[in-house]
Chain A
Amino acid sequence: MAEFRMPSLGADMTSGTVVEWLVKPGDEVRRGQIVAVVDTDKAAIEVEAYEEGVVTDLVVPVGATVAVGAVLARLAPLGAEVMAPPAAELALPAEPAPPAEPALAHSDGAPAVSSPLVRRLAHQLHVDLDTVPGTGPDGAIQRADVTAASGGLALGRPRVRSSPLARRRARELGVLLDSVTGTGPRGAVRVADVERASPRAPQAPTPIADPAKPQQHAATARAEATARRQAAVGELMARSKRDIPHFYLGADVDLAVASAWLHSRNRDRPPAQRVLPAALFLRAVTVAAAEVGHLNGHWVEGRFQPIDGVHLGVAVSLRDGSLVAPGIRDAQRLDLDEMMEALRDLVVRARSGRLTREQMSDPSITVTNLGDLGVDTVLPVIYPPQVAMVGFGRVADRPWAVDGMLAVRPVVSISLAADHRASDGHRAARFLQAVARRLQCPAELDPRSAP
């Protein structure tokens, strides 16, 4: 029987929360079909099936957080008659040990654990591995053992649900989660619950959600997702500032030609087909990133690894105040209209919490545009493992010297933050120059309009 597992949607993802099932038992799924929406620390992402089949059961309920690799649903071969399997089978799924990860026998006689995945699952389910009898080779503890010891997630037996923030707070305050009454969705333990249960913490003024009101559930879940995302971005940025020797360059670029060109291009088009300056900026950055080396790629294991193709990250602010930076894959293949479409899709999906897996795969360079907020200059913080980030400020009319005369021109301030381990001022300057030059010849960024 095939299994649909929690996918890894990024190098640093360890667990995910099922926020929506798009299939139910009995449904046929095809390869590539979107079957669920999963919330990670970064964003809510659509996940697709890798195998075809008929859904026999959804193992993980909506709202539950499980480790990467945990079984989310089971699939029978297409055409098979689907019947609900007996509960016992669910509680103890027979899973052979993965051949790639042989059991590691501990020298101190402690129970052997098959894989890091099992340890992660145990952590996720609050299972103490010392208390789990192993059923694998040499008594190795397997995923099924952990699942069984956790009280059977598959059976939906009570266990302590809790948000990552609540778990952290519980650790800080020395509170046992088992002893806390949860007021969150499906009895999940929230930060406020932990704080109430702790004699050390002052009473939190947070209003308690009434479990009878689903609207409050949704609001609580959203607030938790926001807090989680903000914490994840904060941690990532702290790592960036700690590890990456940033340096910054900036250039003011006259956009008179580009603005006039874009305006005339948009003139006879309905709004749905109009292109914003932002899309032109993305095109210019893409072309420049492909042209100038050492800025498009990742810093991994102490060295720069260039990436073929430009996976263009775009920082998107969400309405809850959090930030995501999904990407446009192989942006170098897109013409201007396609880039605009990709940008629109990215932003709308990011804000509605339905990014695709492709959009969440690691970008190779990221752009942030704060011009709409009236910002003149952005000094970006690089998203690890990337090595560069480009910032655009607002397009504003400014006094500008042209051919010895003073003119008023629309000008944008473009900045670049780069990782000094991967590149230097010379290369970074060439990149910025390339962006500026491309913006002086907008028609060239639009192959279809070229003569």
Chain B
Amino acid sequence: MTATMSDTEARAIVAGILADIAPEVDLDEIDPAGELQPQLDIDSLDFLRFVEGITKHTGLPVPEEDYRRVASLDGAVAYVSGHSVSARS
């Protein structure tokens, strides 16, 4: 078992959560550096569910201060993979 999470794993987690919220969106079609909210046409409640999903799958608390860091696909993937070492140790 690896101590860190690869970007691939992190991306799978993030994509899995988003699939529940915006099932018809193809993540390959969106700008990974752009904000998720307008691209996926999701509202603040959907975004909260997204954050909730990250917490559920990774144990990361994702405080409101960090919302900006998980606002894009790339940001969320980096956030999840970057935090996984401390979250798992």
Contact = CB atoms under 8 A, between A and B. Distances in A.
Given A263-B64, A372-B37, A272 B52 contact: yes
Given A266-B64, A319-B22, A271 B52 contact: yes
B24 A319 contact: yes
A274 B64 CA distance: 9
B45 interface: yes
A263 to B, nearest CB: 6
Contacts of A270: 52, 55, 61
A54 B23 CA distance: 37
B18 to A, nearest CB: 13
A267 B38 CA distance: 25
A378 B69 CA distance: 30
B63 A347 contact: no
**Which of B37, B38, B54, B64 has the most CB atoms of chain A within a 10 A radius of its CB?**
B64
A317 to B, nearest CB: 8
A237 interface: no
A173 interface: no
Contacts of A434: none
A343 B41 CA distance: 19
Nearest to B43: A372
Give the dominant DSSP class at A's interface: helix
Given A266-B64, A319-B22, A319-B24, A271 B44 contact: no
A343 B55 CA distance: 21
Interface string A361-379: 0000000000111100000
Contacts of B38: 374
Contacts of B43: 317, 372-373
Contact of B44 (A267, A276, A348): A276
A344 B43 CA distance: 12
A343 B45 contact: yes
A209 B72 CA distance: 37
Give the dominant DSSP class at B's interface: helix
Contact of A276 (B48, B54, B62): B48
A278 interface: yes
B64 A267 contact: yes
B87 to A, nearest CB: 14
A267 B45 contact: no
B51 interface: yes
A344 B64 contact: no
Interface in B1-29: 22-24
Contacts of B51: 271
Interface residues of B, number: 19
A276 B22 contact: no
Interface string A320-361: 000000000000000000000001100110000000000000
B26 to A, nearest CB: 14
Nearest to A343: B45
Nearest to B55: A271
A371 B43 CA distance: 9
Nearest to B40: A319
Contacts of B62: 271
Contacts of A372: 37, 43-44
A169 to B, nearest CB: 27
Contacts of A347: 45
Nearest to B45: A347
A353 to B, nearest CB: 12
A371 to B, nearest CB: 8
Contacts of B37: 372
Contacts of B48: 271, 274, 276
Contacts of B44: 276-278, 371-372
Contacts of B55: 270-272
A374 B49 CA distance: 20
Contacts of A272: 52, 55
Interface of B: 22-24, 37-38, 41, 43-45, 48-49, 51-52, 54-55, 61-64
Interface of A: 263, 266-267, 270-272, 274, 276-278, 317, 319, 343-344, 347-348, 371-374
27 contacts: A263-B64, A267-B63, A267-B64, A270-B52, A270-B55, A271-B51, A271-B52, A271-B54, A271-B55, A271-B61, A271-B62, A272-B55, A274-B64, A276-B44, A278-B44, A278-B45, A319-B22, A319-B23, A319-B24, A319-B41, A344-B45, A347-B45, A348-B49, A372-B37, A372-B43, A373-B43, A374-B38
List the 9 closest pairs (A to B, CB-CB), nearest first: A271-B52, A372-B43, A271-B51, A271-B55, A272-B52, A372-B44, A347-B45, A276-B44, A266-B64
Given A276-B48, A319-B22, A371-B44, 19 more contacts: A267-B63, A267-B64, A270-B52, A270-B55, A271-B48, A271-B51, A271-B54, A271-B61, A272-B52, A274-B48, A276-B45, A277-B44, A319-B23, A319-B24, A319-B41, A343-B45, A372-B37, A372-B43, A374-B38
